[in-house]
Amino acid sequence: MKTNFALYGVALLLVQALAACGSSPVTVPKEETAQNAPAKAEAIQYDKLIVAFGDSLYAGYRLGPTEGLAPQLQVALEKAGIKARVHNAGVSGDTTAAGKQRLTFVLDNLEKKPDLVVLGLGGNDMLRGIQPKETEANLKAMLDELKKRDIDVVLTGMLAAPNLGPDYANAFNPIFPKLAKQYGAPLYPFFLDGVVADPKLMLPDNIHPNAQGVAKVVDGLAPLVEKALQP
């Protein structure tokens, strides 16, 4: 996938956005949980349970009840004839370390074992300049936990902002393809591919997608999820 980094390489905006994205490692902000839980999910009969486990890109930062990744992905799957509930387990500000801490809690408190986890963390690690080897180790720990529980995974990747320099990019960018290959997980290489460089698809912070941006992400991601759900 080709990516235009014209808007992605704005260092100050990226770093300043960390404060806006929050930092809680375990507790999902009430407003984000309410905004992105699919409407009347409890009343919907479903065959598959999918967990969208990530950071603010998954949580639906500043989006409405039907606009985040979880509800839009659920609708896309319904249109494809798949009765699924997509559980929003996105927490704004989460690093891979925070995600590793809360993964077992999330899995243990679901109504049943999920059929699939869509895993997307690492963006906040990159923004904070966390060493890529730590990011990789944390992602690997989460993938090991999911493998132990025999839960399939679709992995969504992240790319280092150009302002971090080639050394960081060369260490960070290969993490996701490497782990996807190692664990046999389908990979959506860059979550914001085709979105981050288009102002019409981004919120004013130029970091998070708006509803239309999420729709474009879902257009690319949904086929991977559909295939992963096949017997």
pLDDT in tens, 125-180: 999 999 999 999 999 999 999 999 999 999 999 999 999 999 999 999 999 999 99
User: Average pLDDT for residues 12-34, to the nearest whole number?
Assistant: 40
Asked about 23 being catalytic, the answer comes back as no
Least confident of 19-23, 52-56, 59-63: 19-23
Question: Is 1 a residue whose pLDDT tops 80?
Answer: no
As a whole number, the mean pLDDT across the chain is 87
Asked about 115 being catalytic, the answer comes back as no
Structure tokens at 51: 């967990």
In CATH, the architecture of 22-37+45-229 is: 3-Layer(aba) Sandwich (3.40)
Asked about 87 being catalytic, the answer comes back as no
Task: Indicate the residue type of 206.
Answer: N
Q: What is the C-alpha separation between 228 and 89, in angstroms, rounded?
A: 19
Q: Where are the domains of the chain?
A: 22-37+45-229
Whether the Cβ atoms of residue 42 and residue 105 lie closer than 8 Å to each other: no
Query: Which residue is associated with the tokens 């809690």?
Result: 105
Q: What is the pLDDT of residues 170-212, one digit of tens each?
A: 999 999 999 999 999 999 999 999 999 999 999 999 999 999 9
| Active-site residue identified among 125, 144, 205, 219 | 205
